[in-house]
Structure 1
Amino acid sequence: MLRRLLFTALVFGAACLQTSAQEKKTEVKKEEKKQTAPALAPTKANVPYGTHERQVLDFYQAKSEKPTPVVFYIHGGGWQGGDKKGFAAKPFLDAGISVVAINYRYVKQAVELKVEPPVKAPLEDAARALQFVRSKASEWNLDKKRIGATGGSAGGCSSLWLAFHEDMAQPDSADPIARESTRLYCAAVNGAQTSLDPKELKEWMPNYGYGAHAFGMPSLAVVMENREKIMKWINEYSPYALVSKNDPPIGLYFNKQDTPPVVGTNQKDPTHSAVLGVKLAEKLKAEGVEVVLVHQDMPNTKLPTSAAFLIEYLKK
């Protein structure tokens, strides 16, 4: 009898555990479904701007009789993952702003293609995609002057690189797309890396350790050892190194920062720390460039998000 009771209890307990696990699994699935709810369908999907399978973009057209401004979205993922899908285009479309969301080659694919440094591939893909979009201005009813870039993390770094880099247009090129400008009207980014220089980054945050893959190296320590040899790469691809007085208005958003961004101290999440924004904002202000910096200790009620910044500046 006792054995029977024990057996029944064990079976019942196992059933309860299984039911609980199933319920938890169901809740997870519900949450995943909620988080991956079908996004707004693009007007044009997977439009190629190059020959590689990752060189495609989605276009969301705002309804307007006159040419519309454009938000140019570059997804994050450390230049190692991520996708253009799922960008919240609706707030911009409702404001009369069209949206372009791009994919680009990852650094892994750049290594396979022997691109040096590997970060050159995602960055120059972004530039080419921007030129392609401008070449479609008439067909897609776009104001090619008013294009603002946005993205988070590595996508934000790419956006800043475009914002600060001198125009890469080739006026005499036989390729009409290459003749288009790569300059931006504005940019607003979230948790972006603002420098690729290991020396700067370690001075800003001693526990910083991200970004070696951009140069095809195994660690930031190795990048530091070879810094002098790759200074030409740092000067070409690090946003901070490219800042000038001619740069467009910039929004730097670090809304996930939950500790004071004190320069020279270890940070909880150094890769996305507001210290990166503090240092870039200092340099931009010194050059006379308009900049909005937002984090926990520096809120902005008028422009609390990167989306608010882009709508404000693109509609001016």
Structure 2
Amino acid sequence: MHDAAQALQFVRSKADEWNIDPCNVGLWGRSAGACTALWLATHPDLADASSPEMIPRQSTRPSCVAAIFAQTTLDPLQMRAWVGRELTYGPHAFGISTGGLSAGGRFDRFIAERTALLPLIEEFSPASLIGAHAPPIYLDYLDFTMEPSEPLDAYYVHSPRFGQGLAELAKTAGVECHLRYADKKDADYSGWKEFLIQKLKRM
């Protein structure tokens, strides 16, 4: 994730050469890439104003973010509360050993190790980080209905319930957040592409 932050800083450092506005940069990503984009949107800015080098001085905060099929929380208890007990995705992100365990057993170990992992969860989970500082966000789960039509792993990994949970936190924090899924269209934008285009035009 820090590599993504440095990539954004590099792009901004090339603003004059590439004829871009460094204050007007949107991000989008899918699945884990969407989680990374949300992390950049919700994490405190990593710019180092005291650095003698140009790149580290650049902001890591995007102007807006479109996140497609995003995992919006990395907290196993919150994941289960939002998405359901069928969710078994996530332990690998924290290097949890999978030796001989079923998928459900691996997630149970993830929960058992949660306390030790909390510093990492709080550092990298968008749901833990979201606050009034975050830019406008568009969450898109268009391939999925809120309730699963059939119990496929892909649904639980990319469930609109992830988006619903973050959208509620965003509303509480006063952050503009749009949510679209198969049985709910967004009233303001036809999709994530229009969201990015319109947001970047206005900035």
Q: Which residue does the alignment assign to 2:87?
A: 208
Q: Which residue does the alignment assign to 1:289?
A: 175
- Residues 248-280 of structure 1: per-residue CA shift (max 9 Å, x gap): 10000000013537xxxx776111000000000
Within 5 Å, which residues of 2 pair with 1:127-276? 127-204=5-82, 205-217=84-96, 218=98, 219-260=106-147, 269-276=155-162
- Is 2:198 the counterpart of 1:312? yes
Q: Which amino acid aligns with 1:233?
A: L
TM-superposed deviation, 1:237: 0.6
Q: Which has the higher contact order (CA 8 A, sep 6+)?
A: 2
TM-superposed deviation, 1:189: 1.1
Q: Which amino acid aligns with 1:310?
A: L
Q: Which amino acid aligns with 1:214?
A: A
Call closer, same or farther: CA 1:124–1:200 in 2, change over 3 Å: same
Under a length normalisation based on structure 1, what TM-score does the superposition of the two structures give?
A: 0.58
Work out the CA distance in 1 between the residues paired with 2:174 and 2:188.
21
TM-superposed deviation, 1:301: 5.7
TM-superposed deviation, 1:149: 0.8
Work out the CA distance in 2 between the residues paired with 1:126 and 1:190.
17
Q: Which amino acid aligns with 2:125?
A: S
Q: Which amino acid aligns with 1:177?
A: I
SS at 1:244 equivalent: coil
TM-superposed deviation, 1:213: 1.6
SS at 1:294 equivalent: strand
Work out the CA distance in 1 between the residues paired with 2:140 and 2:171.
16
Within 5 Å, which residues of 2 pair with 1:66-81? none
- Is 2:2 the counterpart of 1:124? yes
Work out the CA distance in 2 between the residues paired with 1:139 and 1:146.
16
Q: Which residue does the alignment assign to 2:101?
A: none
TM-superposed deviation, 1:165: 0.4
Work out the CA distance in 1 between the residues paired with 2:75 and 2:188.
33
Work out the CA distance in 2 between the residues paired with 1:222 and 1:173.
41
Structure of greater Rg = 1
Work out the CA distance in 1 between the residues paired with 2:93 and 2:124.
9
TM-superposed deviation, 1:304: 2.3
Q: Which residue does the alignment assign to 2:165?
A: 279
Work out the CA distance in 1 between the residues paired with 2:131 and 2:186.
25
Q: Structure 1 or 2: larger helix share?
A: 2
Q: Which moved more, 1:217-226 or 1:173-182?
A: 217-226
Q: Which amino acid aligns with 1:209?
A: T
For the aligned residue pairs, the C-alpha RMSD in angstroms reads 1.5
Q: Find runs of 4+ consecutive structure 1 residues off by over 6 angstroms.
A: none
Q: Which runs of 5+ in 1 are unaligned?
A: 1-122
TM-superposed deviation, 1:302: 4.6
